Structure 1
Amino acid sequence: MVTLRRVGAAALLAGLLTCLPSVALAQTPEEDPRATQHDGNAVAKDCPQLWPGSTAVQLTDSDPSKQYIDITSVPDGVEVVGVVVKGGDGYNTYDAPDLGALPWLDLYSPLNNGGNIPDVSHWFACGVKDTTTTTTTTTSSGTTTTTAPGETTTDVTPTTDVPTSPEVTTTTAPGAPGEDDDLADTGANPGWLLLTGLLLLAGGGLALFSPKVRAAFARR
């Protein structure tokens, strides 16, 4: 009877010794392999230093607890680049690519000096807002051009101005005296004057040769 009791006790003790290492290993926390551990503190305004070009963005812990953070959604128009979880004497930084696709579950801070996961004192996310816009420009000719941000394209219809030749006015100065040998045509006919003159000369000649006329001149 005593022997059976000893055998049973030995078997029970052996079983307990076999289980204890497994229980101890299961309860020992480890650093999160997805995170980078840092000493000290970090706050939301440190986003530009942690991830250049980023700013703090508002996210919600979908399952609040003392030690873990769960993120299941991100607002539209925001690209999250990293998450910071602070607790104890340090903080963990999580790069979004290392977290993979949503949801991001069980994010926590570095282990404390006792090798345990401390309570979360605060956490925040850093991201970049999507500022991509489309600009539409309508030109005077009715052509619509779509461009990328900061760029504007305008279709301009070229116009050609044809110079107008100045009107030339030619003024002819009156001819100087003596430059034209042609006499002006007045429309008068001098033939009858010439004929009259000849008749008068003939009559005078006859009168001079008449005897009576010569006698009259002789008496004088």
Structure 2
Amino acid sequence: MIIPLWNLAVKYRFHHPERMPQTGAFVLSPNHYSEVDPLVMGVASWKLGRAPRFLAKASLFKNPVLGWVLRTSGQIPVERSGSQSHAAIRAAEDLVSKGRMVIVYPEGSLTRDPDLWPMRGKTGAVRIAIERGIPLVPAAHWGTQQILPRYGKKLSLFPRKSVDVIIGEPIDLSSFEGRLDQASLTAATTVLMDAIAALLAELRGEPAPAERWDPVKHGQKETGRLDQEGTDRVES
């Protein structure tokens, strides 16, 4: 039901759709700068031939509309920390073992970068890919901010908006095979985030920053600003 209604409000322009694997398990990792991103990328994945499953921030499930969509489509809520977070990773791995795709936002939350470039990533996406020996496919989208700006509260569906989605080549994880120590996972995540930034740069037609925005380096100053806007605290 959601897709016909969504099609009235959003026009997709796909770049390299042939890169989306049509069979087997894999992890799809896009950029993240709007609360409506899961819906945008979920419909995009469906249009590209794969039923999406997400590791989505648990707070998204509290939204009456988006939460209903996420729950009824079998998505996986992710808590910030603790045993529930580990349970979510295990649930995603179960989906993978059944040959399904899972969408994991490696940034973990909306990017804090002032210009909406990807920030430093977390290691969950690469961990699943390395542990299960499955492809890790980067992706990027641009235009979602016209539907719901970062930290926005009100959807703007009309007039109809255009969203560009680009699928990347699978990340070469061969040098990280069997390496699940923190240093290796962090290094692999850097490779992933650089690939996502490069895809976004292609969509935006401008170069990506040489370094990812790092909440640890900018945390104290940025946290105060974000708290005033009613968002989550910056994670380390």
Same fold (TM over 0.5): no
Larger radius of gyration: 1
Q: TM-score, normalised by structure 2?
A: 0.22
- Per residue, is there more helix in 1 or in 2? 2
Q: TM-score, normalised by structure 1?
A: 0.23
